Amino acid sequence: MKAIVISAHGGPEVLTPTELPDPVPAEGEVLVRVKAFGLNHAEAYMRSGAWGEVAAVPGIECAGLVEADPSGQLPVGTMVVAILGGMGRTRNGSYAELVTVPATNVLAVHSALDWAELAAVPEVYATAWSGLFGNLDLRPGETVLVRGATSSLGQAAVNLAVDHGATVLATTRNPAHIPLLKELGAAEVLVDDGALAAQVKERGLGVDAVFDLIGNSVLRDSLALVRPRGRVCQLGFLGGFAPVPDFDPLADLPSGVRLSFFGSAFVLGTPEFPLTDVPLDEIYAKVSAGALRARPTRVFRFEEIVDAHRVMEAGTALGKMVVTLD
């Protein structure tokens, strides 16, 4: 099969097309013929070596057809999406014509969307849904601040929260991106200067929950901007991986405020966080109807993977990018 491997840790140019033997599914696995896969910042971290030693073939999600299922649960030819389950991290991932995935991380889907559109949804929407409604327990009528909203995961969170009936405050570091976030339904857009708590206070905005993709570099500020008994969930590290220096819960965690973390790469598909909890078919139906704006902003061919990673690192896509194999 054709596959793209990480030939050495480094920049996008280390992604190298090659031929590998076709994988064979073991018991408890499904073999998927990949039709398209989404691009994620996690794959750039793996490629660069920031996450240490990882599998040779990157890729943490895909859309495709079942090629084989030893359990017989999914017939050959079933349309599926596959998410995480160690792909790209502890096992070869989806940057290939074929990939084996734990059966717990494969879902049959029923949609008329094309392959590129199907591949734009799974990882970001499963993660956004889990963070908003699992960790943050977001309810209609509440106000949620999505910090890092111009990322593909941030846009998914804005989409889902607005659809749920919440008031969304979105943040960006670039004022030029304000119209994009307004179009997604954000009630207000704040330019993130690292001191959002002061902006929220000055504008008299009450925030019930924070969906934080910036991470440790703004943790104290995120905790300070929610109401008493508010909730903060970290889901990303766009601001870097450095730990919070001298963090002291006694001084830094306001009384009653709940802080949590959701690491989708490590838990989605486990018994505690089953993928079946995520209403992907409902999400796809809303994408088809135009209620959720989840279609890819850029579509690349398999042989354009280096260019795709360069665009991802430049941050110019302003949405989800995918790669198609057909």
Tell me: the pLDDT tens digits for 244-279? Answer: 999 999 999 999 999 999 999 899 999 999 999 999
Domain 124-265 has CATH 3.30.420.40: no
Tell me: the pLDDT tens digits for 208-227? Answer: 999 999 999 999 999 999 99
Domain range summary for the chain, segments of one domain joined by +? 2-120+295-324, 124-265
Which one, of 311, 294, 283, lies nearest residue 41 by Cα?
Answer: 311
Which contacts (CB < 8 Å, 24+ apart) does range 18-25 have?
20/57, 20/92, 20/96, 22/98, 23/92, 23/98, 23/99, 23/100, 24/100, 25/68, 25/69, 25/70, 25/100
Tell me: the pLDDT tens digits for 154-175? Answer: 999 999 999 999 999 999 999 9
pTM for the predicted model, two decimal places: 0.95
Which one, of 222, 214, 266, lies nearest residue 83 by Cα?
Answer: 266
Tell me: the pLDDT tens digits for 52-101? Answer: 899 999 999 999 999 999 999 999 999 999 999 999 999 999 999 999 99
Predicted local distance difference test score (pLDDT) of residue 86: 96
Assign domain 2-120+295-324 to its CATH superfamily. Medium-chain alcohol dehydrogenases, catalytic domain (3.90.180.10)
